[in-house]
Structure 1
Amino acid sequence: MITPQELVACIEKLTSLPAVYHRIRALLDDPDSSVHDLAEAVSSDPAITARVLRVVNSVLFGFPGRIETVGRAVNLLGMQQVHDLVLGTAIVGAFNGIRPARMHMSRFWKDSVYRGLAARAAAHRLGLGDPERMFVEGLLADIGHLVMFQAAPDMADAALERAHRHHIPIHEAEQSVVGCHYAEVGAALASAWHLPAGFSAAIGAQLMPLLAGPHTQEAAILHLANDLLASDADEVDEDAVLATMSPSIVTILQADASMLGAVRARVRDELSAVIALFFPDQS
């Protein structure tokens, strides 16, 4: 049996977040820092700058006119949203070179973008939390599987096979075979990377959101994003999704079929463009 921390330690030897992200995080935590300081920090990394401007000028935000500078982006979005934007692009960049032999990486990232967009759309629709923060949390929600298939491929594969053979949820099979499941591993990675408060709690509790304490709504939104992804794959309608959702999730999010349909429609409208935005080689 392996702990989430042991699995994450294997990944940390291969990849890490760029130095510019840590500078931005420090500025965000510094009450004396300014918008100008943050813009300078982002601009110090040409690759991050290009990604941020590409995203800001995309369908995700829909600003009129083109935004040419990081300074203008920070003024329009605010320091917190730019931080989250940099984090999202940095995560994708950090894992770009990790391609476990037994994972279909194009499908993994497509599903991850779907979860991110579903979480963002749900937060918008419900007026809960920060939609851009929820996009990044959704993007990271399944990152534990990438860690598991990279660090312990035989055990991860055996858990997947067990889930299929016994018709049980994948997290139950992983707990039995590996000793931990993907949500716990994702939470451990968020902690190891010192991501903002709430990331680890929401990702780790996405299967049982009531365990997330003050981050229960975020965890519930991630749970909903997973349900919508699975229902799209199975071509299930919104009423059927609602019928299978945990009553606690329905209550926390005040979910109904209309809300699920609106979230799903928005994701379908944005999915291709956002995949092309983050993964131009896969579009």
Structure 2
Amino acid sequence: MTQIELSALLDLLPKYTPFKGLDKDLLTMLAKDISVKTAEAGLCLFEYGDFDTNEYYLISGIVSLIAPDGRESLISTDCINARFPISRLRPRMYTAKAKGPISYLVVDTSVLDELQINTRKNNNALVKGMQLKAGEEGHSLIVEFEQDLNTGRFVLPSLPEVAFRIRELIDNPNSNIKDLAKLVNTDPAIAAKLVKVANSVIYRGVNHCDDTQSAISRLGLITTKQLVTSFAVLALFETKSHLFKDHMRLLWEQSIEVAAYSCVLARELPHFNEAEALLAGLIHNIGEMIALTYAERFDDLATDIHQFNMVIGKLRGKLGEIVLSRWNFTEDLITVARESSDWMRGNGSIANDGSDFDYCDLVQIAKLYALEGKDTTNSSLPAIKTIPAVEKLNKLQLSTEQTTAIIEQANDQITELKTIFNQ
């Protein structure tokens, strides 16, 4: 490589992740093992199923990504995800071919491994810089996530089919409880949980519910719909990554805890449905759960907890919004997933009568009570009287002391709900 070629490459590399922000000496060392190549239309960079050791970055032109079913998506230099390697997953999920004349970088994965080692050696010095870049990286990952989602490179976890069918049947004005019970019974786990909830201290009636139909009759269609969705959501809190397994487990436990507290608080508030509040508590962390499953595909995030924690704060709300929108959830629940980690939401624009208190506010308060003094997956919790949600609740004539008393009196209900959802 001539001095002129090296100089051109050093100017080019910072445009791509993860070379941006590196000092010139480190870039010079890495550049020795990076090639700039050109190709004509039709060149195959890699094929579906390959386990090759090269990463490819597009410099100019258009690359076609062809899925096994024939679907095609294009990557061009004006796409924001062109700053990342082309279809980085292994085995390769696509066949990549030049759509026309292209130029591109070829980087052996050993180069990226060496970069990661050097980055770790200087980790303490880089932390502040990483913090400054967290917003930018978070935005870039959101864009890449949406690109991967739209092109099928990342597939969202789906609610079980029976949950979708149950929701559709309940939304059908011609549905009846008998048909609904028959459909629910096709999933014995959901059916058993519905009966348990119907017989819980929250919904218990004069008679004991012995079957699904009587349970649905007691709960009502709307509550049944929300409970079925809640049971389905819980099944999604899984990860194959050993690195994130404990984190996912903690998310799962916290979501159940927050859901139970949200449910008992909703019973004391007009215009709130306890089953809706329960579901809101369960899904408030759904964006972080998706971020965990997505982060498994990025070695730099999966092995660098500092960078992961910084970026996940930016991803959490947006990913929650994307996922719940795809699942056709209500705007109230989408707001919970998008904003529940923003403790100061609504600050300075609170209605005098507290009428703008919503499910997101409810979940925030439930979270503060449920997780007080416990380890959390993210930053420490704020003082309970410092957030706008509490101020809104006070304007609804429910003081912090009254809220505490409600939760203490509902301890049996909270325990029972947690037991049901943990089974």
Q: CA deviation at 1:149?
A: 1.6
2:188 pairs with 43, 46, 65, which one? 46
* TM-score, structure 2 as length reference: 0.53
- Aligned CA distance change for structure 1 residues 73 and 178 (closer, same or farther; 3 Å): closer
CA deviations on 1:137-187 (whole Å, 9 max, x unpaired) are: 1011112222112211553775x6369xxxxxx7xx3xxx35833222222
Instruction: Give, as a single letter, the amino acid of the residue that structure 1 aligns with 2:368.
Output: D
In the alignment, structure 2 segments of 5+ residues that lack a partner are: 1-139, 350-354, 376-381
- Asked whether the 8 Å contact 2:290–2:319 carries over to 1, the reply is yes
- Asked whether the 8 Å contact 1:42–1:48 carries over to 2, the reply is yes
* TM-score, structure 1 as length reference: 0.76
- Asked whether the 8 Å contact 2:385–2:391 carries over to 1, the reply is no
| Pair member with larger Rg | 2
Across the aligned residues of Structure 1 and Structure 2, the Cα RMSD in angstroms comes to 3.3
- Asked whether the 8 Å contact 1:115–1:138 carries over to 2, the reply is yes
Q: Give me the whole-angstrom Cα distance separating, in 2, the residues matched to 1:25 and 1:136.
A: 14
Q: CA deviation at 1:44?
A: 2.7
Structure 1 ranges of 4+ moved more than 6 A: none
- Aligned CA distance change for structure 1 residues 3 and 274 (closer, same or farther; 3 Å): same
SS of 1:181 mapped into structure 2 = helix
More relative contact order, 1 or 2 (CA 8 Å, 6+ apart): 1
Aligned residues: 259
- Asked whether the 8 Å contact 1:112–1:139 carries over to 2, the reply is yes
- Larger helix fraction of residues: 1
Q: Give me the whole-angstrom Cα distance separating, in 1, the residues matched to 2:421 and 2:261.
A: 16
- Larger strand fraction of residues: 2
Alignment partner, residue 129 of structure 1: 272
Q: CA deviation at 1:64?
A: 4.3
Alignment partner, residue 71 of structure 1: 213
Q: CA deviation at 1:134?
A: 0.5
- Asked whether the 8 Å contact 2:142–2:315 carries over to 1, the reply is no
Instruction: Give, as a single letter, the amino acid of the residue that structure 1 aligns with 2:301.
Output: M
SS of 2:314 mapped into structure 1 = coil
- Aligned CA distance change for structure 1 residues 260 and 216 (closer, same or farther; 3 Å): closer
- Aligned CA distance change for structure 1 residues 99 and 131 (closer, same or farther; 3 Å): farther
Answering whether residue 312 of structure 2 is matched by residue 149 of structure 1, we say no
Q: Alignment identity in percent?
A: 21
Q: Give me the whole-angstrom Cα distance separating, in 2, the residues matched to 1:37 and 1:76.
A: 16
Q: Give me the whole-angstrom Cα distance separating, in 2, the residues matched to 1:62 and 1:228.
A: 25
SS of 2:157 mapped into structure 1 = coil
Deviates more, 1:26-35 or 1:134-143: 26-35
Alignment partner, residue 167 of structure 1: none
Answering whether residue 306 of structure 2 is matched by residue 161 of structure 1, we say yes
2:407 pairs with 260, 264, 271, which one? 264
CA deviations on 1:83-108 (whole Å, 9 max, x unpaired) are: 11111111112x15435432424432
- Aligned CA distance change for structure 1 residues 106 and 96 (closer, same or farther; 3 Å): closer
- Asked whether the 8 Å contact 1:184–1:204 carries over to 2, the reply is yes
